Structure 1
Amino acid sequence: MYAIVDIETTGSQPAQDKITEIAIFIHDGQQIVDKYNTLINPQRSIPFFISQLTGITDDMVQDAPKFYEVAKDIVKFTEGMVFVAHNVRFDYSFIKKEFADLGFNFQRKTLCTVRLSRSLIPGLPSYSLGKLCKSINIDLQLRHRAIGDAEATAKLFDKLIKINRPVIDGNQQMAEQPAQQMLKQEIKTSLLPPNIRKEQVDALPTTPGVYYFHNEQGEVIYVGKSKNIRKRIIQHFNIDYKSRKSLDFKNQISDITYEQMGNELVALLFESAEIKRMKPHYNRQQRRSVFNTGIFMYEDGNGYKRLTFGSVNKADNISMTPLIALTNQFKAKGFLFHKVAKYNLCQKLCDLYKTNGACFDYQVHQCNGACIGQESPEEYNARVDQAVESFSYEHDSFVIIGKGREYGEKSVVVVENGTYLGFGFMDEFFSAQSIDDFKSVIKRYNDNKDVQQIIRSHMRGTHKEKLIVFD
């Protein structure tokens, strides 16, 4: 038995939006046998553009039952059923969230008619409900109303499961039709994107590495990393989607490729480099690839260690490489303000407050007076060293040797004079006497704030890699 469901909502975010209408058509595998439909009072206003799309207004739902008043009906109509919908994760996620707010764990087997349609009617230009119904001559009335869309989905479902009808053999027994076999398979894999087959996921490795999601045009739309590639990708597909955008992301995934990396550190570094190189649409973190501003340190004529910021290419009178590189001066100033507050540093000595006298923090008793010589350089510099230590490496030059991609291979990460140079792979019997020997086996990658944070976090945690220091 199948419950074909469609809902209308106040928006696309299950975490904050609410259901305004639900329709359920019951299909027994042969035909539609029952239906249920009601408007729902979302207990909040419906945005104007949503009302324009669905035709459902605040006045229409004012006297409608609230979700908790129809929850029993929804349980009754879906209990023991396969939950069917077009883009099933969207409808299912909303209903799960509504029940979760009532303290009830709503769990059903699910089936997506988008996936089923792609499998049984391949090659169509679009699998959106409206265009799909038009392609196979299904009358779709009351578009963007739950009752209209659910009825069209039910008719679509009926057509799909009757493709290649069963044949009666000589013993008067019905052979299972291909559509029915496909149906069972799709229920098992309903959480996968429409264009991804179970065999693709089963063939993924369980080793550390970087994976890529591609769209139908072959473009990379997302880059990720994991200690277990297959497990992480399955987790991607199993989550309840929180918005229409996240559902669109899933539906765009048409292929998966990967690079095995051997260990998590190298996977993290390669992922960061690949995101900056490709700038995939769905990677929000680490897309920035230009780090023009540096944080520098120098000692002034009075013996105070000074932190400042400026262009990494025009360090004027500062004859040092930056302690850390950031995307712009706004980010650099924010970074320094954070360190000033955390380590009780002086705004003036960090070039954040221009004055010939005391800094503003001294006036409000939050600076110990290094700006006017009231605090000794030794006391002040000790806190500067603490601040610098929080965003620099413990050693200036070192090599991290870890597990490789296959037996007999090791990974190599090289940092020289506080600058990340890159990583590579070598034979476990490779003989190296100097840091230059290790540099010969790596591929060069750009140093930036993101990779520095990756390496620092890794080194401060528990890890099994071998560390060789060249101080």
Structure 2
Amino acid sequence: MYAILDIETTGGKYNEEGITEIAIYKFDGHKIVDQFSSLINPEKPIQPFVVNLTGINNEMLRHAPKFYEVAKRIIEITDGCIMVAHNALFDNRILTTEFDRLGYPFEKETLCTVELAKKLIPDMPSYSLGKLVRSLGIPLSDRHRAQGDAKATVALFKMLLAKDTSKEIITETLRKDPKREMAPKLLDIIENAPSETGVYYMHNEAGNIIYIGKSRNIRKRLMQHFTNDNRKSKKIQREVKAVTFEKTGNEMIALLKEFEEIKQNRPLFNRSLRHPVFTHQLTSFVDENGYINLKIEKADGRKKAISTFSNYQQAKSALFRITEENQLCQKLTGLYETKKQCFNYSINECYGACVNKEPAAEYNNRVQAFLEQHANENQNLLIIDRGRDVEERSVILIENGKFKGYGFYNLNYQINNPEILKSIINPMQDSRDVRHIIQNYLRKNKVLKTINLSVNKVN
């Protein structure tokens, strides 16, 4: 299955471009089975030459969804797919950068139709998309718009697939080739690994743990370890003698176990704990006019955080949502730097706290309501999610705002009493990093249900 896409951007400095439009066609090798396209508000101005090239201007994007609002759909439509694009390095870099800003690792095998065309259709006068498809008789409408270019890339890729009768070139062009030759011991390890979510432990000849990792597909992740040719992977390949694993049923428990067990075992090839799990936090303060302000700061254990984030961009995206959902002022949430009124006030979407027109008490009531709701959400909570098989569920306990541990229970025993669920918990250590892992996961993923123990409310 392939996800064939095209992206238009704002232009600008390398790795600072923003996406203005995206189109993705899910292609099974014969026909399009799903599609998605959207303009995107890049939250930054478009370069003038790009406006002239694409016809997309800042006004068109003013009310378009921001990237975080379409990210889930992009993940869904590309899941299990090889990503195909004309100049795939560019599109992959742009998407990877945007997901990195959200704290989400977006990793895909890629195929580039420029490289494939040069090998399968040599001696063409040009390999730019417009000139190439015209030379091949492929229709192209809306040039330099994502939907038109992506649709043309689908037709081009279908032609390239037909020309690649041996399939050797496509296999060799994959950015991550899982079929690279491996030592027999590594093949045996992979053969015995499950294609399920969990934590895996690499052992050396003495049985000592040299690496701990987690994955939604343990077998696939081990294959990546054993086929990568970077220095660290080669050292692991030489040292590893066996791999044991523990299924967790869902990624949140895998993340928590991985974090705690790396901290406890300090494996030779794990470096992740040398850096903090989160880098930024959301705090509040009262300004000289009596208004409660929200502020993104670098992580500081001495200060009480409202919420923590893996990076600044993730914090900023979350604060935009908080500001919009609670009708707050962008100036007082630090999203619009000005000594005068904020932009939203000029378009009648702010009540005027930025210029002292809205009474501080009224504004603070909305801020306080958000702070109380956020504090109560994670104080006493049971998080129910998938277990290790279809007849099982997992449960994570948070009590008085602290992580207590996790457990599993069988669906054949209908456990509706939270006290019984609490009794099956395997204790684990609490920390700010652990609470961040849980909070961050719940921001980005759906779980089966949560039970608020304070009011015994199921969500």
- Superposition TM-score, scaled by structure 2 size: 0.44
Q: Which has the larger radius of gyration?
A: 1
